[in-house]
């Protein structure tokens, strides 16, 4: 397995957030983490990236226990797109991308021409090449998320962690990001563990899903098998129903949602 988590418990101070987590994610898989706010998804990602030391258990990435590795070695194995990003210094977006390759560059060395060209290519791939020389801290939340995705791609690690990467993105960029991640994972044979709140994005793009409730995994498996109404209502809340679109695609909506035909809203036709 590319990523293995065994008997993991973790928390902050006297508060235990995660309880005996056992999870494995195969190479070439996009795995969604789903659960309500405060369920422990971000804490789990922090443990995987060795930002937070677990109280018990272990995380193994590509056969190596992450807590025994120096930070530089972890950066060669795992990249992270956090929920929110800010820089302490006024770096440009291009400089932020180049810092993602720090683990590959010798100490006291600067990125060469090849690295700079590659960084530009990744910015182009994510669709933010026009931001290359803008100050990172002056961007919108969504633009910063896209730059951080580009940085993770530039880091070129076998394991990628994304913590609510779509939180600040518009509809088109949400799907662009997920489509891009799916292509990268399949092309590179990488592993992606992504914290998501939208079950429809999970249905559309993820191979597997892990349902987390109160710091425990309550369901884990192939997306089509786990994304059932009973499980969704247990984990995400009672106001959930599953349905299919007119084209036969599965979709998750609030049970209280009424279509325009059912409610008092009437659609107005425009044009001919």
CA-CA distance, 148 to 164, in Å (whole number)? 12
CB 186, CB 106: distance < 8 Å: no
CB 1, CB 63: distance < 8 Å: no
Judge residue 97's burial from the number of C-beta atoms within 10 Å of its C-beta, 0-12 exposed, 13-18 middle, 19 or more buried: buried
**Region of poorest pLDDT, from 5-14, 91-100, 183-192, 260-269:** 260-269
CA-CA distance, 206 to 202, in Å (whole number)? 5
CA 260, 261, 267: angle at the middle one, nearest 5?
A: 55
Residue 259 pLDDT level (bands cut at 50, 70, 90): low
Q: Which residue has the tokens 């709140």?
A: 197
Q: What is the pLDDT of residue 258?
A: 63
- Over range 158-178, report the average pLDDT: 92
- Please tell me what DSSP assigns to residue 150: H
DSSP 87-121: -SS--BHHHHHHHTTGGGSPTT----HHHHHHHHH
CA-CA distance, 160 to 182, in Å (whole number)? 12
Instruction: With 0.75 as the threshold, say if the pTM is over it.
Output: yes
* Strand-pair category, 208-213 with 30-34: parallel
Q: Using one digit for the tens of pLDDT, what is the confidence trace for 62-72?
A: 999 999 999 99
Domains of the chain: 3-253 (3.40.50.300)
- Over range 145-166, report the average pLDDT: 93
CA 257, 173, 31: angle at the middle one, nearest 5?
A: 75
- Over range 140-166, report the average pLDDT: 93
- DSSP alpha helix (H) spans, 156-252: 171-188, 199-205, 223-226, 229-236
CA-CA distance, 262 to 200, in Å (whole number)? 22
CA-CA distance, 253 to 73, in Å (whole number)? 42
């Amino acid at each position: 397995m590319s990523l293995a988590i065994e008997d993991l418990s973790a928390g902050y101070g006297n508060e235990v957030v995660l309880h005996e987590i056992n999870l494995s994610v195969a190479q070439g898989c996009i795995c969604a983490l789903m659960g309500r706010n405060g369920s422990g998804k971000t804490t789990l990602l922090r443990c995987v990236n060795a930002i937070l030391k677990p109280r018990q258990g272990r995380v193994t990435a590509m056969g190596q226990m992450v807590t025994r590795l120096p930070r530089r070695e972890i950066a060669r194995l795992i990249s992270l797109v956090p929920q929110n990003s800010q820089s302490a210094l006024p770096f440009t977006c291009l400089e932020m991308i180049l810092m993602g390759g720090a683990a590959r560059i010798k100490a006291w060395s600067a990125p060469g021409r090849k690295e700079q060209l590659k960084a530009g290519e990744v910015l182009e791939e994510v669709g933010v090449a026009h931001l290359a020389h803008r100050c990172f801290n002056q961007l919108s939340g969504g633009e910063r998320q896209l730059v951080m995705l580009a940085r993770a791609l530039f880091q070129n690690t076998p394991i990628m962690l994304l913590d609510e990467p779509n939180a600040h993105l518009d509809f088109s960029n949400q799907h662009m990001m997920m489509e891009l991640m799916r292509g990268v994972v399949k092309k590179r044979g990488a592993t992606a563990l992504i914290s998501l709140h939208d079950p429809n994005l999970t249905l559309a793009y993820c191979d597997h899903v892990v349902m987390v409730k109160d710091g425990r995994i309550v369901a884990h498996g192939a997306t089509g098998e786990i994304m059932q109404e009973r499980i969704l209502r247990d984990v995400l809340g009672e106001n959930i129903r599953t349905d299919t679109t007119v084209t036969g695609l599965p979709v998750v909506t609030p049970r209280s949602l009424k279509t325009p035909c059912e409610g008092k809203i009437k659609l107005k036709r425009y044009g001919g």
